[in-house]
């Protein structure tokens, strides 16, 4: 554990005017408060706050932030109160500690509505003081550096959360070094085999090239010397995760990537940066399409640099970044540079953006959003994406994330323009609305007063702002239909646990999910934003564990033809139901699996016929219902989905899931997961649906819908 003097030594250099005694006091207070507490590794717990403070000091932040880092876990994990912190260290530190504590308590990786709501509230609160996030990012960085002491399950959960939330946040704030380290530490847990493979390739490449980096640095220095430029040149290998992501995105092998090596030229003046660029291009051939000038078009977090890729020594493609010293400081620290000190004074860097500008822009228009999940999605989209710059016919610049379409462009200008969009002209040419926009294009939106947002638009747009606006308008138009469908889903969901759908029950759900009223709950059920199972969990959490809810996937059953004591499970690839012929397949590791006789997977097992077992469904099957799915193409009209749900319910089947897999202006294609007694029961249901004049196709789908529980975040790493 480092001493307080080791911690304050660098502070004396960049901020000699800091109140070091106050920092020592916070150190002593934190040490005493955490006495007796241990980390998962067995070390003293106070090692963690000190290391967080050390990261904050490396960012050259102010003394209030350093004290907050030392005290950030005292309110959460010790007997200290926020009032005590305020009395001893003042209201500024107390407010920062409170903000970090609240952020720690939020389950940011969860997609449940209540957590999305917390995430939105957090962004509103952080707009008052972004130093809360700087401490939390430092906290997460040290936790990731020491994550190996945790159980594997917790390592995976924390790593996914880091990859999903904290690394993109660091990147969006311009803190690229921290982002790269957070990503790579997460990558080490989530996909260790891939990471080790990249590292092995690097080792092989070093042997083959005899350590190419110093040679290329020398080549660049010689070329800059010819221009009499005073510049600092550095080089490095890219982080394993950065390489892996590019390999996945570009579908290319390791040796074909153009920027495995990265080199940086830091100059004194902006004009020197462009001279250096010219020198590099004269010495080596530039790779077409790999040039970006972020000096003339800075990123929203203040990042400025020239990026170019050239064919360097021995034909190896290398990326070169060129920027000034001031630009480099912002590139390393991002918005944290706003609080940095030098020689006891706040640094006045002309390239540091207002630290709250991005946060305000991010949450603008979503603070009052009626759907917190829309806000949550918008935030994640904004954090992950680089930007493209397009022009209106009047020459105004519109910033959009890469991958945005003309509909995104229209909504970025004004919601009314987006709602009335019927077409677009890009550089004077008519293009489809799903066209991805590129840097520098001029976009003109064609409008019609009679136009309304179409359900198909949602799959065309990329920005959270556009998605939210489209969903809001569609909800308004289809609200009455969704409420009708929601009533049926609520009825059948609660009926399977012996309960009734009442106004009081729905109002209870509305209160817990921060909805306005019971109709909002029904509308959410009808639009599949809320599922019937989630409804049960909210109203009757204790019943869920003891409840025999329909199981999704393979189930163990007894069949005629098995030996005494033997059990078999139904195959998830075909999910057979009573009334259709079945066959058992005995596999040593998996046991006996039951397939429908026409299951496609049986073709792969023809060579092992000796493992096939002739089985029959048990007479008087004790299972009350069996899962299956129907794929339905239906007219997009008022009340059609409601009629389908009612028909299924009236025929004694439960609806357990609905997936809108294809939405077009005229027809919807949906997959409904239901539980039936047998093949005859299923046939009766399909016949009753098929006779509806608004139904085009009704087919049985063999494979059960994949279910994603609330709070589960899909890994970003394959």
Return the active site residues.
Answer: 76-77
- For residue 693, the tally of other CB atoms under 10 A from its CB is 7
Are the CB atoms for 581 and 596 separated by under 8 Å? yes
Q: Which one, of 579, 571, 605, lies nearest residue 702 by Cα?
A: 571
Q: Identify any residues that bridge with 253 across adjacent strands, giving them in sequence order.
A: none
* Vertex 77 angle, CA 75 and 81, to 5°: 25
Whether the CB-CB separation of 629 and 673 falls below 8 Å is answered with yes
CA pair distance 29, 70, nearest whole angstrom: 9
d(CA 551, CA 360): 45
Calculate Rg over the CA atoms of the chain: 30
b/e per residue, 122-150, with b = 16+ CB within 10 A? bbeebeebbbbbbbbbbbbbbbbebbeeb
Strand order in the sheet with 626-635: 654-663, 667-676, 626-635, 695-701
**DSSP string of 73-95, one letter each residue:** THHHHSS--HHHHHHHH-HHHHH
Decide if 315 contacts 300 (C-beta within 8 A).
no
The CA distances from residue 587 to 206, 610, 611, in Å, are 46, 11, 7
| C-alpha–C-alpha distance, residues 681 and 438, integer Å | 54
Helix 503-512 with 518-526: angle, nearest 10 deg: 80
State how far the Cα of 459 lies from the Cα of 389, in Å rounded to an integer.
Answer: 22
Report the interhelical angle of 152-161 vs 176-190 (nearest 10°): 150
Phi, psi angles (nearest 5°) of residue 325? -60, -45
């Amino acid at each position: 554990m480092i001493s307080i003097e080791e911690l304050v030594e660098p502070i004396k250099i960049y901020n000699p005017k800091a109140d070091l005694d106050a920092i020592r006091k916070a150190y002593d207070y934190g040490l005493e408060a955490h006495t007796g507490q241990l980390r998962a590794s067995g070390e003293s717990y106070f090692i963690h706050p000190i290391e967080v403070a050390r990261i904050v000091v490396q960012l050259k932040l102010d003394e209030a932030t350093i004290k907050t880092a030392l005290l950030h876990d005292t309110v959460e994990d010790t007997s200290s109160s926020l009032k005590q912190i305020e009395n001893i260290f003042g209201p500024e530190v107390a407010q920062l500690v409170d903000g970090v504590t609240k952020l720690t308590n939020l389950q940011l990786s969860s997609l449940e509505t209540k957590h999305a709501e917390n995430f939105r509230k957090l962004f509103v609160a952080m707009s008052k003081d972004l130093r809360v996030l700087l401490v939390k990012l430092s906290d997460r960085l040290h936790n990731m550096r020491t994550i190996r002491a945790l159980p594997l399950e917790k390592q995976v959960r924390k790593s996914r959360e880091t990859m999903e939330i904290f690394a993109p946040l660091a990147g969006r704030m311009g803190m690229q070094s921290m982002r790269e380290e957070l990503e790579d530490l997460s990558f080490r847990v989530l996909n260790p085999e891939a990471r080790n493979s990249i590292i092995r390739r690097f080792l092989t490449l070093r042997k083959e090239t005899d350590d190419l980096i110093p040679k290329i640095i020398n080549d660049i220095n010689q070329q800059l010397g010819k221009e009499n430029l005073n510049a600092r040149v550095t080089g490095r290998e890219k982080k394993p995760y950065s390489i892996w992501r590019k390999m996945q995105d570009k579908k290319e092998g390791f040796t074909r990537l153009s920027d495995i090596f990265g080199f940086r030229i830091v100059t004194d003046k902006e004009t020197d940066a462009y001279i250096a660029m010219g020198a590099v291009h004269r010495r080596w051939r530039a790779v077409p399409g790999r040039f970006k000038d972020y000096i003339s078009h800075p990123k929203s977090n203040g990042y400025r640099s020239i990026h170019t890729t050239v064919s360097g020594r021995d034909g190896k493609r290398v990326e070169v970044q060129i920027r000034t010293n001031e630009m480099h400081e912002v590139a390393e620290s991002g918005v944290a540079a706003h609080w940095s000190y030098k020689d006891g004074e706040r640094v006045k860097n002309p390239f540091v953006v207002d630290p709250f500008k991005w946060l305000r822009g991010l949450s603008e228009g979503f603070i009052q959003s009626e759907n917190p999940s829309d806000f949550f999605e918008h935030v994640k989209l904004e954090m992950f994406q680089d930007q493209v710059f397009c022009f209106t016919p009047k020459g105004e610049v519109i910033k959009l994330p890469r991958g945005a379409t003309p509909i995104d462009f229209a909504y970025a200008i004004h919601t009314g323009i987006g709602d009335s969009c019927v077409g677009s002209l890009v550089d004077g040419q008519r293009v489809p609305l799903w066209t991805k926009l590129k840097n520098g294009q001029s976009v003109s939106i064609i409008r019609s007063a009679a136009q309304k947002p179409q359900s198909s638009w949602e799959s065309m747009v990329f920005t959270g702002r556009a998605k939210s606006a489209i969903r809001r308008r569609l909800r308004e138009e289809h609200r009455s239909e969704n409420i009708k469908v929601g009533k049926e889903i609520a009825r059948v969901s609660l009926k399977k646990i012996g309960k009734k759908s009442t106004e009081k029950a729905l109002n209870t759900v509305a209160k817990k999910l921060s909805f306005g009223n019971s109709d909002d709950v029904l509308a959410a059920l009808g639009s599949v934003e809320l599922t019937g199972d989630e409804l049960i969990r909210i109203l009757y959490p204790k019943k869920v564990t003891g409840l025999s809810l329909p199981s999704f996937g393979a189930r163990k059953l007894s069949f005629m033809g098995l030996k005494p004591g033997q059990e078999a499970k139904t195959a998830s690839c075909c999910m057979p139901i009573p009334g259709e012929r079945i066959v058992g397949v005995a596999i040593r590791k998996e046991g006996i699996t039951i397939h429908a006789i026409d299951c496609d997977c049986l073709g792969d097992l023809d060579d092992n016929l000796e493992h096939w077992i002739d089985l029959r469904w048990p007479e008087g099957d004790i299972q009350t219902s069996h899962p299956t799915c129907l794929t339905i193409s239906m007219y997009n009209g008022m009340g059609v989905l409601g009629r389908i749900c009612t028909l299924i319910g009236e025929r004694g089947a439960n609806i357990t899931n609905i997936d809108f897999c294809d939405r077009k202006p005229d027809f919807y294609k949906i997959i409904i997961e239901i539980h039936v007694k047998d093949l005859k029961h299923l046939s009766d249901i399909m016949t009753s649906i098929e006779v509806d004049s608004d139904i085009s196709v009704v087919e049985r789908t063999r494979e059960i819908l994949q279910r994603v529980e609330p709070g589960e975040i899909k890994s970003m790493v394959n």
